[in-house]
């Protein structure tokens, strides 16, 4: 197990895993889309618009999960000085930010037929918006620092401060939301209730697993890029570079 | 530095106040910003007293938040430039209490002055008189949280290019709970509702920030000085 | 169910398909940008190796910018 913690072995292992992970992810997406868009019946209240749930909810769940992974990776990198953990945090940020954006846009498109407007300061959407800002801060901070070690460590501290704050932010937004929102406008969160039909629950679960595996697939690809960049002075990377055929269009 | 920790801390506190006193413009700029922003609002939304008193809690709190953010840049920048920060990091005392002292001194020359100024601006915005006390108390509880959370961002962006804008991007999302509870309390008090829950929440947030922020800031400073 | 009713989505076609379209764009962007980033690093390292430079001399920023 420990031998995969070295960047060299991880690079090779990730390279072998990516095609399999990608294939399983693709199959799950196809199954989830088929069940969610074709098999599941329309909702008795919302008609077919509720089908946006199958991408909105997994995006929102993953946006939180990826931030936790980012902070976890940052913590491990900070405490035990493990380069791979730093790379995991850095590589997670753009994936998490894009999934947060996806949750925001799909939520807004779901909100239009449900509420009559594209944007309502609903607790879930507002929390996602602030989470998006937190991701932007992390990416901007790491991009502004050239030294890779300092960049990783500064990002880790920021992600950890963010993780401590996320529950507080979420609580404060829910509190604020219940004070200001007229009761007739329900929250998107309430739609996903435990009483959901199995024909709607199954595609939701399958899509969630698909998003989950998708994150890990892209994470491994991104981490391979990070490993090459940060281990470029090592012999094994030089070997890989030498073995790489010339890529068209990169030479002037 | 053969003094004990308390003596050193007192020394740092006094020194930071003296330094702030020597550069009154640095202290006054965020205050001027606070006044200008709140004065611009009536020009933007109209002078109707009802509208203004409805908007007042939010406007005052957002303006205080932005003003306190503006002052964050100078929290460590001067000490970073002249090497004082390295000396602090090398001192025999743990860095966290020393950083806490610096945050406290910074708050005394920024947040505290905003609190003092706020009733005046609240009158300008026609905030009901009975909500004035709540405004001052929430700012008194909330602005230290802003300084504490902000210190982490200030330490992380030390010497980084594009520091000022970056700092606001890092810090403003973390400020949302303070804004929600602070402005919420003033709104509740203006409409004659109970504000006890808000005060407890703000107080709890302050305790949490007191416990964790100086420690995180010290860690961030060590990273930036590395 | 005919294809037409499937695409009509009970009158919500505009919202459902633009949401799914946006999510597809986001997912594809993730894959493409991740693959391109690794290729860009490899291409850059190759160029440096051909120029006879040791990669240590360049900063991280130049290597990682796409």
pLDDT in the model for residue C53: 62
| Mutation for A interface: C10, C13, C18, C23, most A CBs within 10 A | C23
CA distance A163 to A28: 30
Would you kindly state where each structural domain of chain B is located, as residue ranges?
5-225
For residue A18, being part of any structural domain is answered with no
Quote the number of domains for chain A: 1
Q: Which of B198, B218, B214 is nearest to B107 (CA)?
A: B214
> Cα separation of B174 and B153, whole Å?
10
Interval B117-142 mean pLDDT: 93
3-state helix, strand, coil in chain A (%, to 5): 80, 0, 20
Q: Quick one: CA dihedral A94, A100, A103, A107, positive or negative?
A: negative
Expressed as residue numbers, the domain containing A50 is 44-197
- Whether A224 maps to a domain, the answer reads no
Q: Is A43 helix (H, G, I), strand (E, B) or coil?
A: strand
pLDDT in tens, B101-129: 999 999 999 999 999 999 999 999 989 99
What is the ipTM score, two decimals?
A: 0.91
Does residue B220 sit at the A interface (CB-CB below 8 Å)?
A: yes
Chain B contact set for A160 (CB, 8 A):
216
Q: Is residue A56 situated within a structural domain?
A: yes
DSSP B82-120: TTHHHHHHHSSS-HHHHHHHHHHHHHHTTHHHHHHHHHH
Q: Does A145 touch chain C (CB under 8 A)?
A: no
Predicted pLDDT at A244 = 78
Chains B and A, touching by 3 or more CB pairs within 8 angstroms = yes
Mean of all residue pLDDT scores within chain B: 91
Nearest CA in chain B to A126: B176
The residue in chain A having the minimum alpha-carbon distance to the alpha carbon of residue B176 is: A169
Note the pLDDT tens digit of each residue in B49-99: 889 999 999 999 999 999 999 999 889 988 888 888 888 888 888 899 999
**Does residue B145 register a pLDDT over 80?**
yes
Q: How far is A152 from chain B (nearest CA, A)?
A: 10
pLDDT at A42: 83
> Given CB atoms, is A121 within the 8 Å cutoff of chain B?
no
What one-character-per-residue DSSP string does chain B give? --S-HHHHHHHHHHHHHHHHHH-HHHHHHHHHHHHHHHHHHHHHH---HHHHHHHHHHHHHHHHHHHHHHGGGGTTHHHHHTTHHHHHHHSSS-HHHHHHHHHHHHHHTTHHHHHHHHHHHHHHTT--GGGHHHHHHHHHHHHHHHHHHHHHHHHHTTT-TTHHHHHHHHHHHHHHHHHHHHHHHHHHHHTT---HHHHHHHHHHHHHHHHHHHHHHHHHHHHHH-
Average pLDDT across each block of 10 residues of chain A; the chain has 252 residues. List them in order.
Answer: 75 94 96 90 82 92 95 94 93 97 93 84 87 96 92 95 90 80 46 64 92 97 93 87 68 45
Report pLDDT for A58: 94
User: For position B89, what pLDDT does the model report?
Assistant: 87
Nearest to A176 among B157, B180, B226 (CB): B180
How many other β-carbons are positioned within 10 Å of the β-carbon of residue A37?
A: 17
Question: Is position A29 within any domain?
Answer: no
B187-B189-B191 Cα angle (round to 5) = 75
State residue B33's pLDDT score. Answer: 95
pTM: 0.90
What mean pLDDT do residues B22-40 have? 92
Does residue A4 form part of some domain? no
* B95 close contact with A: CB closer than 8 A: no
Q: Which of residues 22-41 of A touch C (CB under 8 A)?
A: 37-38
CB of A141 within 8 Å of a chain B CB? The answer is yes
Specify if A9 maps to a domain: no
Quick one: closest CA in B to A150, which residue? Answer: B223
A93 and A70 in contact (C-beta within 8 Å)? yes
């Amino acid at each position: 197990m420990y031998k995969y913690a070295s960047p060299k072995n991880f690079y090779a292992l990730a390279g072998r895993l990516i095609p399999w992970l990608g294939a399983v992810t693709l199959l799950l997406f196809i199954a989830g889309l088929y069940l969610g868009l074709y098999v599941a019946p329309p909702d008795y209240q919302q008609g077919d618009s509720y089908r946006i749930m199958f991408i909105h909810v997994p995006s929102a769940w993953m946006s939180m999960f990826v931030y936790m992974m980012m902070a976890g990776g940052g913590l491990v990198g900070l405490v035990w000085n493990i380069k791979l953990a730093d790379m995991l945090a850095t590589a997670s940020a753009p994936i998490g930010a894009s999934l947060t954006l996806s949750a925001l846009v799909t939520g807004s498109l779901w909100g239009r037929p449900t509420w009559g407007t594209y944007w309502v300061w609903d607790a879930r959407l507002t929390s996602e918006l602030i989470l998006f800002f937190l991701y932007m801060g992390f990416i901007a901070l790491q991009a502004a620092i050239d030294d890779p070690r300092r960049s990783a460590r500064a990002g880790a501290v920021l992600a950890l401060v963010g993780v401590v704050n996320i529950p507080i932010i979420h609580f404060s937004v829910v509190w604020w939301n219940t004070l200001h929102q007229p009761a007739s406008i329900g929250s998107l969160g309430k739609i996903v209730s435990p009483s959901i039909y199995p024909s709607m629950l199954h595609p939701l679960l399958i899509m969630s697993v698909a998003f989950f595996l998708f994150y890990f697939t892209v994470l491994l690809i991104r981490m391979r890029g990070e490993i090459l960049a940060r281990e470029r002075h090592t012999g094994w990377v030089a070997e890989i570079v030498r073995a790489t055929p010339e890529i068209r269009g990169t030479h002037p | 530095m053969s003094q004990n920790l308390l003596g050193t801390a007192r020394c740092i506190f006094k020194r930071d106040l003296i330094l702030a006193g020597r550069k009154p413009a640095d202290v006054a700029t965020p205050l001027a910003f606070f006044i200008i922003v709140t004065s611009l609002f009536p020009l933007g939304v109209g002078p109707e007293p009802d509208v203004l008193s409805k908007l007042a809690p939010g406007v005052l709190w957002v303006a205080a938040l932005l003003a306190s953010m503006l002052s964050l840049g100078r929290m460590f920048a001067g000490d970073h430039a002249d090497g004082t920060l390295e000396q602090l990091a090398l001192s025999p005392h743990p860095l966290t209490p020393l950083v806490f002292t610096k945050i406290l001194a910074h708050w005394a020359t920024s947040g505290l002055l905003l609190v003092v100024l706020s009733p005046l601006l609240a009158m300008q915005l026609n905030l009901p008189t009975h909500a004035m006390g709540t405004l001052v108390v929430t700012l008194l509880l909330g602005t230290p949280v802003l300084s504490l959370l902000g210190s982490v961002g200030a330490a992380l962006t030390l010497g980084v290019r594009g520091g000022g804008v970056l700092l606001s991007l890092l810090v403003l999302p973390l400020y949302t709970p303070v804004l929600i509870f602070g402005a919420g309390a003033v709104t509740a008090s203006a409409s004659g509702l109970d504000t006890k829950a808000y005060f407890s929440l703000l107080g709890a947030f302050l305790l949490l920030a007191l416990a964790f922020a100086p420690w995180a800031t010290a860690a961030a400073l060590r990273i930036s000085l590395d | 169910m005919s294809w037409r009713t499937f695409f009509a989505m009970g009158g919500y076609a505009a919202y459902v398909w633009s949401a799914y379209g946006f999510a597809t764009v986001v997912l594809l962007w993730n894959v493409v940008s991740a693959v391109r980033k690794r290729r860009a690093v490899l291409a850059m390292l190759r160029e440096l190796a051909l120029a006879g430079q040791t990669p240590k001399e360049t900063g991280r920023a130049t290597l990682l910018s796409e």
